[in-house]
Amino acid sequence: MILMKDIIREGHPTLRAKSKEVQFPLSEEDRKLSEDLLEYVINSQNDEMIEKYDLRPGVGIAAPQVNVPKRIFALHFDENSGENLSLIAINPKIVSHSVEKAYLSAGEGCLSVDRPIPGYVPRYARVTVKAFDIEGKEYKMRLKGLPAIAFQHELDHLNGIMFFDHINPKNPFAEIDNAIAIDRASGE
Ligand code: SB7
Ligand code: NI
Protein backbone atom coordinates (compact mmCIF):
# COMPACT_ATOMS: atom_id res chain seq x y z
CA MET A 1 0.00 0.00 0.00
CA ILE A 2 1.06 3.59 -0.62
CA LEU A 3 2.34 5.48 2.45
CA MET A 4 3.53 9.07 2.87
CA LYS A 5 7.15 7.92 2.52
CA ASP A 6 6.31 6.83 -1.05
CA ILE A 7 5.08 10.28 -2.06
CA ILE A 8 7.67 12.52 -3.67
CA ARG A 9 7.84 16.18 -2.72
CA GLU A 10 8.35 19.55 -4.36
CA GLY A 11 11.76 19.76 -5.96
CA HIS A 12 11.68 16.20 -7.31
CA PRO A 13 12.03 16.33 -11.12
CA THR A 14 9.24 13.78 -11.77
CA LEU A 15 6.71 16.35 -10.52
CA ARG A 16 7.78 18.60 -13.40
CA ALA A 17 7.84 15.89 -16.09
CA LYS A 18 5.13 15.19 -18.65
CA SER A 19 3.79 11.73 -17.85
CA LYS A 20 3.48 9.06 -20.55
CA GLU A 21 0.27 7.63 -22.02
CA VAL A 22 -0.64 4.16 -20.78
CA GLN A 23 -1.10 1.20 -23.17
CA PHE A 24 -4.01 -1.25 -23.04
CA PRO A 25 -4.51 -3.95 -22.02
CA LEU A 26 -3.04 -2.71 -18.78
CA SER A 27 0.12 -4.46 -17.58
CA GLU A 28 -0.17 -6.13 -14.19
CA GLU A 29 2.10 -3.37 -12.87
CA ASP A 30 -0.14 -0.55 -14.17
CA ARG A 31 -3.26 -2.26 -12.84
CA LYS A 32 -1.67 -2.62 -9.40
CA LEU A 33 -0.56 1.03 -9.45
CA SER A 34 -4.07 2.22 -10.40
CA GLU A 35 -5.64 0.20 -7.60
CA ASP A 36 -3.03 1.36 -5.09
CA LEU A 37 -3.73 5.01 -5.96
CA LEU A 38 -7.46 4.55 -5.41
CA GLU A 39 -6.81 2.63 -2.20
CA TYR A 40 -4.67 5.53 -0.94
CA VAL A 41 -7.38 8.14 -1.44
CA ILE A 42 -10.02 5.93 0.16
CA ASN A 43 -7.80 5.11 3.17
CA SER A 44 -6.70 8.73 3.52
CA GLN A 45 -10.32 9.72 4.26
CA ASN A 46 -10.77 7.10 6.96
CA ASP A 47 -9.85 8.28 10.47
CA GLU A 48 -8.66 4.87 11.66
CA MET A 49 -6.43 4.36 8.63
CA ILE A 50 -5.08 7.93 8.92
CA GLU A 51 -4.12 7.28 12.53
CA LYS A 52 -2.71 3.80 11.93
CA TYR A 53 -0.60 4.63 8.88
CA ASP A 54 -0.01 8.34 9.42
CA LEU A 55 -1.69 9.28 6.14
CA ARG A 56 -2.37 12.79 4.94
CA PRO A 57 -5.92 13.21 3.66
CA GLY A 58 -6.44 13.88 -0.02
CA VAL A 59 -9.33 13.63 -2.45
CA GLY A 60 -6.96 12.63 -5.23
CA ILE A 61 -3.52 11.33 -6.06
CA ALA A 62 -1.66 11.04 -9.36
CA ALA A 63 0.89 8.41 -10.43
CA PRO A 64 3.78 10.90 -10.78
CA GLN A 65 3.35 11.68 -7.05
CA VAL A 66 4.61 8.17 -6.33
CA ASN A 67 7.39 8.75 -8.86
CA VAL A 68 5.73 6.88 -11.74
CA PRO A 69 5.42 9.23 -14.74
CA LYS A 70 2.31 7.62 -16.24
CA ARG A 71 -1.05 9.20 -17.08
CA ILE A 72 -3.08 7.71 -14.24
CA PHE A 73 -4.81 9.23 -11.23
CA ALA A 74 -7.52 8.39 -8.71
CA LEU A 75 -10.19 10.55 -7.09
CA HIS A 76 -12.47 9.71 -4.19
CA PHE A 77 -15.23 11.69 -2.54
CA ASP A 78 -17.22 9.94 0.12
CA GLU A 79 -20.84 10.61 1.05
CA ASN A 80 -20.04 13.05 3.86
CA SER A 81 -18.29 15.34 1.40
CA GLY A 82 -21.71 15.73 -0.19
CA GLU A 83 -20.42 14.01 -3.31
CA ASN A 84 -20.28 10.37 -4.15
CA LEU A 85 -17.61 9.69 -6.67
CA SER A 86 -14.76 7.26 -6.86
CA LEU A 87 -12.73 6.84 -10.01
CA ILE A 88 -9.52 5.79 -11.65
CA ALA A 89 -8.69 7.91 -14.70
CA ILE A 90 -6.24 6.58 -17.28
CA ASN A 91 -5.13 8.79 -20.19
CA PRO A 92 -7.67 11.40 -19.04
CA LYS A 93 -8.57 14.53 -20.95
CA ILE A 94 -10.89 17.50 -20.75
CA VAL A 95 -13.08 17.51 -23.85
CA SER A 96 -14.88 20.77 -23.07
CA HIS A 97 -15.16 23.27 -20.27
CA SER A 98 -17.24 26.20 -19.08
CA VAL A 99 -16.13 29.76 -19.64
CA GLU A 100 -16.95 30.35 -15.99
CA LYS A 101 -14.15 29.63 -13.54
CA ALA A 102 -14.16 28.43 -9.95
CA TYR A 103 -11.71 28.43 -7.07
CA LEU A 104 -11.63 27.07 -3.55
CA SER A 105 -11.89 29.99 -1.15
CA ALA A 106 -9.45 28.22 1.19
CA GLY A 107 -6.99 27.60 -1.63
CA GLU A 108 -5.53 24.22 -2.57
CA GLY A 109 -2.99 21.93 -1.02
CA CYS A 110 -1.01 19.00 -2.37
CA LEU A 111 0.37 15.79 -0.90
CA SER A 112 3.66 16.67 -2.59
CA VAL A 113 3.85 20.11 -0.98
CA ASP A 114 4.71 20.27 2.72
CA ARG A 115 3.98 23.96 3.26
CA PRO A 116 0.76 25.94 3.06
CA ILE A 117 0.69 28.12 -0.07
CA PRO A 118 -2.01 30.77 0.18
CA GLY A 119 -3.93 32.04 -2.82
CA TYR A 120 -6.74 31.38 -5.25
CA VAL A 121 -6.17 28.73 -7.89
CA PRO A 122 -8.37 29.48 -10.91
CA ARG A 123 -9.96 26.40 -12.46
CA TYR A 124 -12.83 25.80 -14.90
CA ALA A 125 -16.12 25.65 -13.01
CA ARG A 126 -17.42 22.74 -15.11
CA VAL A 127 -15.60 20.22 -17.27
CA THR A 128 -16.64 17.37 -19.51
CA VAL A 129 -13.95 14.74 -19.27
CA LYS A 130 -13.02 11.49 -20.91
CA ALA A 131 -10.76 8.77 -19.52
CA PHE A 132 -10.27 5.01 -19.57
CA ASP A 133 -10.92 2.71 -16.62
CA ILE A 134 -8.66 -0.21 -15.67
CA GLU A 135 -10.51 -2.52 -18.07
CA GLY A 136 -9.67 -0.19 -20.94
CA LYS A 137 -13.25 1.02 -21.28
CA GLU A 138 -13.58 4.69 -22.14
CA TYR A 139 -16.00 6.80 -20.11
CA LYS A 140 -17.20 10.37 -20.32
CA MET A 141 -18.66 12.51 -17.53
CA ARG A 142 -19.50 16.05 -16.59
CA LEU A 143 -18.07 17.40 -13.34
CA LYS A 144 -18.66 20.55 -11.35
CA GLY A 145 -17.76 21.82 -7.89
CA LEU A 146 -14.94 20.18 -5.98
CA PRO A 147 -14.74 17.09 -8.26
CA ALA A 148 -14.17 19.38 -11.28
CA ILE A 149 -11.43 21.24 -9.40
CA ALA A 150 -9.79 18.03 -8.20
CA PHE A 151 -9.85 16.51 -11.70
CA GLN A 152 -8.00 19.57 -13.01
CA HIS A 153 -5.50 19.46 -10.11
CA GLU A 154 -4.69 15.80 -10.90
CA LEU A 155 -4.58 16.30 -14.68
CA ASP A 156 -2.07 19.10 -14.07
CA HIS A 157 0.18 16.63 -12.22
CA LEU A 158 0.32 14.50 -15.40
CA ASN A 159 1.62 17.57 -17.24
CA GLY A 160 4.18 18.62 -14.63
CA ILE A 161 2.06 21.52 -13.36
CA MET A 162 1.68 22.33 -9.67
CA PHE A 163 -1.34 24.16 -8.21
CA PHE A 164 0.73 27.15 -7.14
CA ASP A 165 1.78 27.77 -10.76
CA HIS A 166 -1.75 29.19 -11.22
CA ILE A 167 -1.65 31.59 -8.26
CA ASN A 168 -1.27 35.28 -9.06
CA PRO A 169 2.26 36.01 -7.76
CA LYS A 170 1.62 39.73 -7.19
CA ASN A 171 -1.66 39.29 -5.34
CA PRO A 172 -2.51 35.68 -4.46
CA PHE A 173 -6.05 36.67 -3.47
CA ALA A 174 -6.77 38.95 -6.42
CA GLU A 175 -10.35 38.67 -7.58
CA ILE A 176 -10.72 36.16 -10.42
CA ASP A 177 -12.85 37.32 -13.34
CA ASN A 178 -16.03 35.37 -14.00
CA ALA A 179 -15.38 32.91 -11.19
CA ILE A 180 -17.42 31.34 -8.43
CA ALA A 181 -15.92 30.72 -5.00
CA ILE A 182 -16.32 27.25 -3.54
CA ASP A 183 -16.34 27.12 0.25
CA ARG A 184 -14.87 23.82 1.14
CA ALA A 185 -11.92 23.26 3.44
CA SER A 186 -9.12 22.55 0.93
CA GLY A 187 -9.55 19.24 -0.88
CA GLU A 188 -8.02 17.43 2.08
C1 SB7 B 1 -7.22 20.70 -3.33
C2 SB7 B 1 -6.52 19.54 -3.16
C3 SB7 B 1 -6.59 18.52 -4.10
C4 SB7 B 1 -7.37 18.73 -5.20
C5 SB7 B 1 -8.06 19.89 -5.38
C6 SB7 B 1 -7.99 20.87 -4.43
C7 SB7 B 1 -5.87 17.22 -3.95
C8 SB7 B 1 -4.80 17.19 -2.91
C9 SB7 B 1 -3.99 15.93 -2.96
N10 SB7 B 1 -3.09 15.93 -4.05
O11 SB7 B 1 -1.87 16.41 -3.92
C12 SB7 B 1 -3.38 15.25 -5.21
O13 SB7 B 1 -2.57 15.56 -6.26
NI1 NI C 1 -1.44 17.37 -5.80
Closest atom of ligand 1 to CA, residue 113: 11
4: left (phi over 0), alpha (psi -120 to 50) or beta: alpha
| Residue with CA at minimum distance from ligand 1 atom 5 | 150
Q: Could you tell me if 130 and 90 are in contact, meaning their C-beta atoms sit under 8 angstroms apart? A: no
Choose one of 40, 59, 158 to mutate for the ligand 1 pocket test, by most ligand atoms within 8 angstroms of C-beta.
59
Global pTM value: 0.97
The CATH homologous superfamily for domain 4-182 is Peptide deformylase (3.90.45.10)
Residue 54 vs residues 11, 50, 57, 89: alpha-carbon distances, Å: 22, 5, 10, 26
Annotated binding-site residue? 157 = yes
Give pLDDT tens digits for 30-74.
Answer: 999 999 999 999 999 999 999 999 999 999 999 999 999 999 999
Other Cβ atoms closer than 10 A to 39: 16
Closest atom of ligand 1 to CA, residue 62: 13
Residues acting as catalytic residues: 154
Give pLDDT tens digits for 35-47.
Answer: 999 999 999 999 9
Element housing 36 (H / E): helix 28-43
Q: At residue 133, what are phi and psi to the nearest 5 degrees?
A: -90, 180
